[in-house]
């Protein structure tokens, strides 16, 4: 189920009050909808078919606790999303940002100019997870 809302569904199954999921791909959205129905977490999940920048600017009204970014590999969407989250003040000082990537060094280089710091890194198969916090 990974990549089809799995992280958000896992979060609400473990007690998160709400998960906001966003994908621009219509087929991915259909799969995520099915997975939400299977798990019966409709009341805890907001699902949007749109670009991440539209979502950040128009749909997120609160500051977020945990942000999990799984952008298409070989894009600079992680950088752009974090830059926008910071600009729109959607990140608290104790928020955790997690980026999933198969290009760890490239992503780390891209994000080093932002007001965030790496607090942990982990590897699962070919996926690298980079954990970040806002600089204080």
> Do 15 and 66 fall into the same domain?
no
> Do 100 and 135 fall into the same domain?
yes
> Which pTM does this prediction carry?
0.92
> Do 45 and 2 fall into the same domain?
yes
The predicted model gives 94-119 an average pLDDT of: 96
Please check the confidence at residue 1 and state whether its pLDDT lies above 60.
no
Please check the confidence at residue 109 and state whether its pLDDT lies above 80.
yes
> Do 92 and 125 fall into the same domain?
yes
131 burial via Cβ count (<10 Å: 0-12, 13-18, 19+) = middle
Per-residue pLDDT of 33-54, as tens digits, reads 999 999 999 999 999 999 999 9
92: nearest Cα among 67, 120, 70, 113: 67
Residue 109's CATH number = 3.40.50.150
What local confidence, expressed as pLDDT, does residue 43 receive? 96
Residue pair 74/103 in contact by the 8 Å Cβ criterion = yes
Average pLDDT of the chain to the nearest whole number: 93
Structural domain contains residue 56: no
d(CA 60, CA 55): 7
> Do 45 and 66 fall into the same domain?
no
Confidence of residue 136 (pLDDT cuts 50, 70, 90): confident
Domain range enclosing 136:
62-136
Q: Output 73 or 131, whichever has higher pLDDT.
A: 131
């Amino acid at each position: 189920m990974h990549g089809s809302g799995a992280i958000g569904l896992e979060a609400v199954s473990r007690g998160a009050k709400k998960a906001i999921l966003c994908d621009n791909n219509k087929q991915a959205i259909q799969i995520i909808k099915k997975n939400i129905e299977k798990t019966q977490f409709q009341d805890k999940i907001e699902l949007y078919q749109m670009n991440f920048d539209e979502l950040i600017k128009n749909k997120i009204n609160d500051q977020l606790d945990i942000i999990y970014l799984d952008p298409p590999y070989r894009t600079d969407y992680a950088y752009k999303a974090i830059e926008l989250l910071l600009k729109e003040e959607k990140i608290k000082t104790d928020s955790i940002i997690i980026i999933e990537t198969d290009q760890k060094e490239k992503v780390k280089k891209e994000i080093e100019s932002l007001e965030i710091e790496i607090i942990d890194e982990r590897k699962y198969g070919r996926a690298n997870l980079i954990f970040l916090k806002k600089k204080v």
